[in-house]
Structure 1
Amino acid sequence: SKRDAITQLSETLKDADYINDVPSFVKDIYLREKEGITGIGDGIAIPHGKSDYVTKVGVAIGVFNKPIEWETLDGEGVTVVILF
């Protein structure tokens, strides 16, 4: 699911010391998600946001075998999620 993908990628960022609190960071990402679509089409989503829980800028990329339901510009699911 979208939430699982964002959470898993956030955990990857935490494990690499890019963020210090997964639940709070995920909450901040969802605040940005409310502002507009982050699914850019062609199976790609780029969720992002501003968060006080970021210790340094980083990127986590997830590639999924099956499309995940996501709000996208082309109305299709995503298989690549780039979280920063």
Structure 2
Amino acid sequence: DGTPFYGKIVSLTGNGWSNPWPDSYVKALSQEHGIIRTTAEYISQISIGDFIGILPIHSCLTTHLMRDMITTAGQAITTMQSPK
């Protein structure tokens, strides 16, 4: 519908994550905080302190800050900024 967004919301599972929640997305974003838009149905399923997953539309900030990543299959991915 043309609405800008910064990521999709998912439930975390034992081996990855669910499909994105319908009608749910990251509406606004700063380096430390995000604002999500979702339905009352999904809000009623989460509590303060629960973990939810965010699938970002791009991972530049994550890659820059973390430098090394591990895939859900356990494969290590390093970047040019990784400590030697």
Answer yes or no: same fold by TM over 0.5.
no
The structure carrying a bigger strand percent of its residues is 2
TM-score by length of 1: 0.31
Q: TM-score, with normalisation over the residues of structure 2?
A: 0.31
